[in-house]
Amino acid sequence: MSERRSSESGFPIQGVYTAADLPENLDSRLGAPGEFPYTRGVYPTMYTSRPWTMRQYAGFGTATESNARYHQLLRAGTMGLSVAFDLPTQMGYDSDDPIAHGEVGKVGVAIDSIEDMRLLFDGIPLDKVSTSMTINAPGSVLLLLYQLVAEENGVPGSALNGTIQNDILKEYIARGTYIFPPKPSLRLVADTFGYCRKEVPKWNTISISGYHMAEAGASPAQEVAFTLANGVEYVRAALAAGLAVDDFAPRLSFFFVARTTLIEEVAKFRAARRIWARLMRDEFGAKNPKSMMLRFHTQTAGVQLTAQQPEVNLVRVAVQGLAAVLGGTQSLHTNSFDEAIALPTEKAARLALRTQQVLAYETDLTATVDPFAGSYVVEAMTAELEEAATELMDRVFDHGSAVDAIEAGFQKREIEQSAYRIAQEIDSGERVVVGLNRFQIDEEEPYEPLRVDPAIEATQGQRLAELRRTRDAGAVERALDELRAAASGSENVLYPMKEALRARATVGEVCGTLREVWGQYRPSDRF
């Protein structure tokens, strides 16, 4: 039994909770499901009418290999695809760029041009699936490639459903796959909001992410506070670009982690919804109820998985998935048990999906809305998390804005302190990790991980050479000149960007053109 008696966010957990621990004005804090402040969920019926969207994050090697995995997942019953891109793609480099050497296809799929995107979604009905793409700095580029491929298959932008992560601020805080300085990066986000409102109206234009901050060591309170503070910054950027709040806010979405600390995670999700609803109504004057709804995707906590006794991760993921569902997530990705070792095998990915299906179809979780409402411990903890996250957001805004706080290193410093505390607790044994610092076995069973073919880099290089040989070079150069001019002025850059990609410009060429105009961010830069 764990000796810890405090929450992940640092406040004490009582041995017994009673009605005396319930917060004041509980009825107004709760509301009804689907009604302000959305504590009990953003939809009146939640899972009683349909379960959450079951996504499985996949992408490795070539577009053809990833396409085969997507078809396998769809046959297994997944309801939405979630695309992982390799590091060069995330950083806006082509596979044959010297800086990409050794990283092509390793942590996701390599996408260099529209031809790769065609292969990635070959045979997949883009008007019927929902696709989430974990891409940030070049998020608009990958979205346009997706739209172009859909149009080639007779699917208009108005029929597309999905999400691009497009959350650049958390990259400066916790992850590091940024390209441009923050100001032009925020402009690109706002341009994407404006473009999608007209051209891809059902698309979620951003997934404001706390997940990666949590993976870096953020506590639940920090995860909520820094994520919502970034959300405020994106809303301000869109308003400054001339968009009306109710024109873009309904397409904002969020991305959180689900840890094994089930009770606190449920409280975290409920507190986050309440804080966001009040911010949008009271600070930004939103009138459309959908502008106040914090809709979010959840992924189980990869950082809590262990390479030791990896099968135990199946249990961890089931508990984490349960926390996400009890917390009211709109979609869920469950990690594969072998992800602490390598890219997941096909069997492991299928087991991860089956975990969600057991939760949805073999339990009574979908029989009633928000089953923990009124629980002494959950309501007390929700109020504590709301207070802690709000106080931390105030500390962010004391710097002026989330961007000013990033420049001062505030969020990064706070997360590092939390991560250090967690590491100390694991090292001392105060925080039990089964199989790692307690309940070890003398000898681990052999495991054969999925291997990525090192020849992928050469193959992608050959494809790029053929692309450049057969395309209309003059048309590409003219299209990139149009993009350069738009980036230098105030025009929405997504329209000329789309034409450049249609002409078979590469991801690296498009991002390189923007680098010429906007520059490249270095951690020591001021802006």
Domains of the chain (ranges; CATH) run: 35-414 (3.20.20.240)
Residue 446 confidence class, pLDDT cut points 50, 70, 90: confident
User: Each residue of 317-339: b (16+ CB within 10 Å) or e?
Assistant: bbbbbbbbbbbbbbbbbbbbbbb
Question: Is the predicted pLDDT of residue 58 greater than 70, yes or no?
Answer: no
Determine what percent of the chain is predicted with pLDDT higher than 70: 97
Q: Which residue has the higher pLDDT, 66 or 476?
A: 476
Whole-angstrom distance, CA of residue 128 vs CA of residue 78: 12
Three-state secondary structure readout of 193-230? HHHHHHHCCCEECEEEECHHHHHCCCCHHHHHHHHHHH
Q: What is the pLDDT of residues 283-324, one digit of tens each?
A: 999 999 999 999 999 999 999 999 999 999 999 999 999 999
State the pLDDT at residue 450: 62
Q: Which of 1-10, 172-181, 201-210, 472-481 has the lowest mean pLDDT?
A: 1-10
Question: Is the predicted pLDDT of residue 159 greater than 90, yes or no?
Answer: yes
Q: What is the pLDDT of residues 166-220, one digit of tens each?
A: 999 999 999 899 999 999 999 999 999 999 999 999 999 999 999 999 999 999 9
Read off the pLDDT of each residue in 485-508 and give the average, rounded to a whole number.
98
Residue 60 confidence class, pLDDT cut points 50, 70, 90: low
Q: Contact at 8 Å (CB) between 280 and 310?
A: no
- DSSP assignments along 12-61, one per residue: B--S---GGGSPTTHHHHH--TTSTT-TT-SSSSGGGTSPPEEEEEE--B
Residue 91 confidence class, pLDDT cut points 50, 70, 90: very high
H helix or E strand, kind and range, residue 255? strand 252-258
Residue (of 66, 189, 173) closest to 119 by Cα position:
66
State the pLDDT at residue 150: 98
Rounded to 10°, the helix 346-361/63-76 angle is 30
SS3 content of the chain, % helix, strand, coil (to 5): 50, 10, 40
Q: Check: pTM over 0.85? Answer yes or no.
A: yes
